[in-house]
Amino acid sequence: MPRKVDHLSAWTRRGIMALSLGVALLGVSASISNVVAQQSEPPNIAAASDLQFALKEIAASFTKDTGKTVTLTFGSSGNFLSQIQQGAPFQMFMSADEGFIQQLASAGKAEGEGTLYAVGRIVLFAPRGSTLRVDADIADLRAALADGRIQRFAIANPEHAPYGRAAEEALRSRGLWDAIKPKLVLGENVSQAAQFATSGSAQGGIFAYSLALSQHVGDKGTYVVLPADWHKPLRQRMALLKGAGEVARAFYTYVQQPAARAIFRKYGFVLPGEAS
């Protein structure tokens, strides 16, 4: 009888081991299938919202030239940083702040420190019907704050949007930050700040020059480019993220080529190797 029990126990152990191995192999197979599926789908590119119009043109040109497609997701660079750190399935990140790329590289989330692809500029904007007059030294903004013409003024949230931080730095450099702070309407990103500024519900705003150059935005009011030395340079850097596939790598290379650089230039970006 003891032998019989031992014999059955051995077969039971073998069965359990076989079942465990089968489950493990199924898990590996599922993981491989997920990777293959992810690589076969268009790669998801996280892009700063100041690229809203320029990058859509570049992606269309990329598809025309290569037959390959990418999925573009626009938002705040600071929010993308947090999402990528938490494992969001992006294959490439085009940040409006090169420091965010450097953080990801240090954390082992990016393939090196990437490439500087552009330097951005900001504009002071007034929508149609606003009593605010735009000028390069923002003298009328100062006067409008003093005489009560400014009730709402739009910028991106400086806590996580690089263009919002640049707007704050520019306003501080002119001594207007304390006066304008209670009037601020904060966009989640610079594209949303532009929407607020152009809607007519605000008397003005500061946002990306690249957005103002789009007819969807610029035609809704008047604007002036603010001096670059009023804020820290908006050095925009991109990087491939760990696990990036072939199409993402092709797009990363394409963004650095003459066709893409010409589109960046069209939207007011200063390009690496060119004077501002």
3-state SS string for 18-41: HHHHHHHHHHHHHHHHHHHHHHHC
Q: Is 226 part of any domain?
A: yes
pLDDT recorded at residue 274: 82
Domain span holding position 258: 44-119+235-266
209 inside domain: yes
For residues 75 and 163, state if they share a domain. Answer: no
- Looking at the fold, whether 115 and 206 belong to one and the same domain comes out as no
**Is residue 144 domain-shared with residue 132, that is, in the same domain?**
yes
Within a domain: residue 70? Answer: yes
Please state the pTM of the whole predicted model.
0.84
Question: Are 144 and 204 members of one domain?
Answer: yes
- For residues 211 and 223, is the Cβ–Cβ distance under 8 A? no
**What whole-number distance in Å separates Cα of residue 186 and Cα of residue 155?**
5
Q: Which residue has the tokens 């330097």?
A: 119
Query: Does residue 275 lie within any of the structural domains?
Result: no
**Rounded Cα distance, 115 and 94, in Å:** 9
pLDDT at 147: 97
Per-residue pLDDT of 150-175, as tens digits, reads 999 999 999 999 999 999 999 999 99
Q: Provide the CATH number for the domain around residue 63.
A: 3.40.190.10
Closest to 142 (Cα-Cα) out of 189, 174, 103:
174
> In the sheet that 92-94 helps form, which strands lie side by side, from edge to edge?
71-75, 44-48, 92-94, 234-240, 115-120
131 and 111, same domain (yes or no) = no
pLDDT at 35: 45
Residues 6 or more apart whose Cβ sits within 8 Å of residue 125: 134, 194, 197, 198, 204, 205, 206, 207, 212, 221, 222, 223
Low-confidence ranges of the chain (pLDDT < 70): 1-40, 275-276
Asked if residue 130 and residue 2 are part of one domain, the reply reads no
Residue 27: the pLDDT is 52
Tell whether 276 is covered by a domain: no
> Are 65 and 125 in a shared domain?
no
Residue 198 and residue 260 in one domain: no
Number of domains in the chain: 3
| Co-location of 26 and 156 in the same domain | no
On whether residue 272 sits in a domain, the answer given is no
Chain-centroid distance of CA 256 in Å reads: 17
CA dist., res. 264 & res. 138, Å (int): 27
48 plus 96 within the same structural domain = yes
169 with 105, same domain: the answer is: no
Q: Is residue 273 one of the residues assigned to a domain? A: no
Contact criterion met (CB below 8 Å) for 223 and 190: no
Model pLDDT, residue 4: 44
Is 73 among the domain residues? yes
Residue 161 shares a structural domain with residue 69:
no
